[in-house]
Structure 1
Amino acid sequence: MLGYAEIATHFRRQIADGELNPGDAMPSYKEAAEEFGVNRTTIIRAYDILKAEGLIVSRPGKGTTVAAQPEVAVTGVARLKRLARTGKPYAPGETSTDHWAGVRSLADPILADLLDVEPHDEVVIRRRVHRQDDKPSTVALSVIHIRALGDVPELLSGEPLERWWQDIYKERTGRDVTKSPERRTARLISNDELNALGIDLPPEAAAAALVVVNVFHDEDGPLEVWEDVYPPGAWQVDAE
């Protein structure tokens, strides 16, 4: 028998994968209790968790529906798990724009350290802006070790790749790629990031952004660093 936390996870995944979309009706307490073979109190506790996370909302006379989630940030881990479950790189209503790719000197000492290169070494950079219902939601930066370019020259394409580049890399090299635990922090958001996210601030104002970092490794060391920057006010819900 599932507990309330596992039932909440079940619906959380359905919302993340687009099986349940904003405005869709959730099963009634009675229907859900019968589906999972639990009592009504267990379903109420599961729904209360989802309500607290902003994923569902209850209105008198309208029941419980999936909520719009403009400020819920999708983590890199959640993206990978959704891709593995559904084969779809984007969530329902999600697109990406402003794609750019090229070889650049890596000036950020933190990212250089994570990728195990010297500051100002050349790296491959891929940048795009994720949009949810046509509203900018994430500035996504991929910093890739220059050694990957020999096996996957498509990395310099300014357009989205048909497959995740790491899958191509693993196929061509026979190497495994592993991921370190996701890191989350906050820092002041840059003007470039504000522009990409369509945010206007007075010149004298400053705002903090949620930053999520994922590092991928192969047998030769760090291979790629993801840095996802979310707009001020965004918050996260784990997919598990």
Structure 2
Amino acid sequence: MPLLKYEQIADDLRTRVANGEFGPGDLLPSGRDLAEQWGVSRATVVKAYDILRHDGLVAARQGSGFVVAETPVARPAGGRRAGTSRLSGGTPYRRLGTPDRTVPPAHVAEALGLARGEAALRRARLTLLDDGAPHSLVTAWFPAAVADAAPRLSAKGPIAEGTTHYVRRETGRSPVEGTDVTTVRLATDEEARLLEVHRPTAVAVVLHTAYDRQGRALVCEEGVTPSHVFEQTDNYPMR
């Protein structure tokens, strides 16, 4: 399905940020300039910027317009329902180590549909609370086909536009279905160290897998959150 005009504008701005034309804190083109460039109304440009703002890629600066966000945000694993945004559930985060290719745990390999002994690309991050304390340890696993087509996944730094948009741009594949499985266990020594908790402590583990239109796994994320900060709220109608 072809993108609507405001989606095209948003994608173009994502690409320009990803290519380094605009860096953190830089002022982005004005609504008037973009409206003239694309031959659209100012309202269409506003919708494009709203998408980027909800993605956490840009921030409004009073009296100036929009700038590239200086502090990228990321979400804990799971909860990727249609209509949700990085901004609504996102927090500052810290990248851990350098992405590498290794054989994932059996439950991750099964979720990704990998053959026995097949490697995947691993990226880890630590989402943070408002005071800078650890919130959730998230390890993302990408099948080799996705990692090969999207080489920036192997880079150490953050991907400002977000991995979902980047993977879609590089591969043409978008997530259309997600599965979240939540379990509870005790933290491992390494998890306790990174999350700054003492063992034994209970953690909630969310295994999130995103699938494209053909049912192929794009990514599997495992999020580990200590019990004292894990909270899940569901609002729903009752009759």
| TM score, norm. by length of structure 1 | 0.58
Return the structure number with greater relative CO, CA threshold 8 A, min gap 6: 1
Show the 5 A alignment for 1:66-105.
76-77=78-79, 81-83=83-85, 88=87, 91=90, 94-105=91-102
Whether the aligned pair in 2 keeps the contact of 1:107 and 1:119 (CA below 8 Å) is no
Q: Given the alignment of the two structures, is residue 143 of structure 1 paired with residue 141 of structure 2, yes or no?
A: yes
- Whether the 8 Å contact between 1:152 and 1:168 is mirrored in structure 2 is yes
Q: Quick one: distance in 2 between partners of 1:77 and 1:119?
A: 29
TM-superposed CA distance for 1:75, in Å, is 5.7
Does the residue aligned with 1:235 lie in a helix, a strand or coil? coil
Counterparts in 2 of 1:117 and 1:227: CA distance versus 1, 3 Å:
same
1:216 match = 210
Residue 181 (structure 1) shift? 3.0
State whether residues 152 and 165 of structure 1, in contact with CA within 8 Å, keep that contact through their aligned partners in structure 2. no
Deviation at 1:221, TM superposition (A): 1.6
2:201 paired residue number = 207
Give the aligned partner of residue 237 of structure 1. Answer: 233
Shift, 1:78, TM fit: 5.7
Rounded to whole Å, the distance in 2 between the matches of 1:220 and 1:182 is 15
Match of 1:187, as an amino acid? R
Q: Name segments (4+ residues, structure 1) moved above 6 Å.
A: none
How far 1:173 sits from its partner (Å)? 3.0
Q: Which amino acid aligns with 1:88?
A: L
Letter of the structure 1 residue corresponding to residue 78 of structure 2: G
| CA distance in structure 2 between the aligned counterparts of 1:223 and 1:75, rounded to whole angstroms | 14
Shift of 1:160: 1.1
Gaps in structure 2 of 5+ consecutive residues: 1-53, 55-74
Contact 1:115 1:224 in 2 (8 A): yes
| Structure-2 residue corresponding to 1:187 | 185
Q: Which has the larger radius of gyration?
A: 1
State the shift of 1:98 in Å. 3.8
Runs of at least 5 residues in structure 1 that lack an aligned partner in the other structure: 1-16, 18-72
CA contact 2:104–2:120 (8 Å) conserved in 1: no
1:28-72 deviations in Å (ceiling 9; x for gaps):
xxxxxxxxxxxxxxxxxxxxxxxxxxxxxxxxxxxxxxxxxxxxx
Instruction: Check 1:74–1:141 CA distance in 2 against 1; reply closer, same or farther (3 A cut).
Output: closer
User: C-alpha root-mean-square deviation of aligned residues, in Å?
Assistant: 2.7
Q: Distance in 2 between matches of 1:101 and 1:216?
A: 23
Q: Could you tell me which residue of structure 1 aligns to residue 223 of structure 2? A: 228
Overall identity of the aligned pairs, in %: 19
In 2: Cα distance, 1:237 partner to 1:227 partner? 19
| Counterparts of 1:99 and 1:79, CA distance in 2 | 26
TM-score by length of 2: 0.59
Contact 1:187 1:209 in 2 (8 A): yes
CA 1:74/1:108 → structure 2, altered by over 3 Å: closer, same or farther? closer
